[in-house]
Copies of this chain bind each other. A is one copy, B any other.
Amino acid sequence: METIALVFLDVLVIIGVSRLIGIGFRFIGQPLVIGEIVAGVMLGPSFLGLISPQASAWLFPITVVPLLNVLAQAGLIFFMFLIGLDLNPKHLKGQGDLALLVSHVSIIVPFSLGIILSIFLYPLLSSGEVNFTAFTLFMGVAMSITAFPVLARIITEKNLQNTSLGSLALTCAAVDDITAWCLLAVAIAVVNTNSMIAAIPTILFAAIYVCLMLTVARTLLQKLDAHYERTKKLSQSALALIYMGVLGSALITELIGIHLIFGAFLFGVIMPKNEDLMREISLKTEEFVLIFLLPIFFVYSGLRTQIGLLNSLELWLISGLILLVAIAGKYLGTYAAARAFNIPKREASTLGWLMNTRGLTELIVLNIGLNLKVISPLLFTMLVIMALVTTFMASPILDFIYKKGTVKLVKF
């Protein structure tokens, strides 16, 4: 079969399998994304590669992987843009102080625990290609991720979005997202330069770029908004300009030395938050990106996840330890901060579990880490397992805490 036809056969299989498993997971009350991540892992060496190495080699030969990656990366860039677009400053108001504190503590605790953990992991599991500082920073970030989009979906599916708890969780996750991306940008800068000091120019440039985007670019985009308000129609050329903005901004952050996804995300963040305009952009972009392109990213990621590498009890124990530290760090940090603000125990605890949702965001971070060779394929696999488990557990725990029929949320 010709390579290009094989690419589309792969895409067909990917969309089909990830939808199927996604719908299966939905039946047990899980968000679609869990199924998509699992589907990605299953199409990789961890499952398909085990049960039929021939099928795996035929479907995903080495020549096809870079071609799939282009589609995956295009999906990722536009997905990050859409996430940024969804981030409405409205969400950040109201519970400002509370959310800011809870969110920051919920990052600092797992981040610190991640650093402590990496003292132990570095000699065992680092790829040996980066220094200790870079590895440590990266592990800290990997531990402290909360996935805003997955959390938002869980909260909506459980109908919590209009409760104090739901909106606090969303705000915290939004702040977490921004903080985590900043930390990751720093970590990437350090990895790329392999030293804290040498990373300073990169970080400085990134900071300047963010400032320019938040001021100059934002003001320019207000013109687009004004134009939209007059015509109430998003022309194809205007949308082309927006897509060019996404790509341009992504390329600038890549050039600065952080990563494509930051620029795309940032461009989404600075878009005018005009409800109609946002809806029209989403409507014309989201479905193709989410249905056609993004599942390819999950499989690209799954192709690199090799559960077979965990071939000894010792490695499984380490994997368990990472999981434990990740869960405990996020939970305790969130819980303690929430309690300090007098949030009732049950709600504080729920918040702790919710913030553990790492989902897709973690996967993005891990793939960057693997590309930059900060983490080895083995550690990558362990962290993918951690991301899966922490995302998977949110829904059932929520159901357990608020048993059906007895939902009576305390207003705080």
Which A positions have Cβ atoms within 8 angstroms of B?
A: 1-5, 7-9, 11-12, 15-16, 19, 23, 66-67, 69-71, 73-74, 77, 236-237, 239-240, 243-244, 247-248, 250-251, 254-255, 260, 283-292
Contact = CB atoms under 8 A, between A and B. Distances in A.
Given A239-B287, A260-B8, A16 B73 contact: no
Contacts of A283: 283-284
Nearest to A74: B71
A248 B12 contact: yes
A284 B288 contact: yes
A8 B251 contact: yes
A27 to B, nearest CB: 13
A15 B240 contact: yes
Contact of A236 (B7, B73, B291): B291
B5 A260 contact: yes
A2 B286 CA distance: 27
A215 B1 CA distance: 28
Main secondary structure of the interface of A (DSSP, over half): helix
A24 B3 CA distance: 37
A152 to B, nearest CB: 16
A-B pairs with the 5 shortest C-beta distances?
A284-B287, A12-B247, A288-B288, A240-B291, A67-B70
Given A4-B69, A11-B247, A251-B12, A19 B284 contact: no
Copies in the complex: 2
A19 B235 CA distance: 12
Contacts of A240: 15, 19, 291
Contacts of A250: 8
A20 to B, nearest CB: 10
Contacts of A77: 8
Given A284-B283, A291-B243, A66 B67 contact: yes
Contacts of A12: 244, 247-248, 251
Contact of A288 (B16, B251, B260, B289): B289
A239 B251 CA distance: 31
Contacts of A11: 247
A23 B77 CA distance: 26
Contacts of A19: 237, 240
Given A8-B73, A12-B247, 18 more contacts: A5-B251, A5-B254, A5-B260, A8-B77, A9-B251, A12-B248, A15-B244, A15-B247, A19-B237, A66-B67, A67-B67, A70-B70, A236-B287, A236-B290, A236-B291, A243-B291, A243-B292, A284-B284
Contacts of A66: 3, 67
Contacts of A3: 66
B284 A15 contact: no
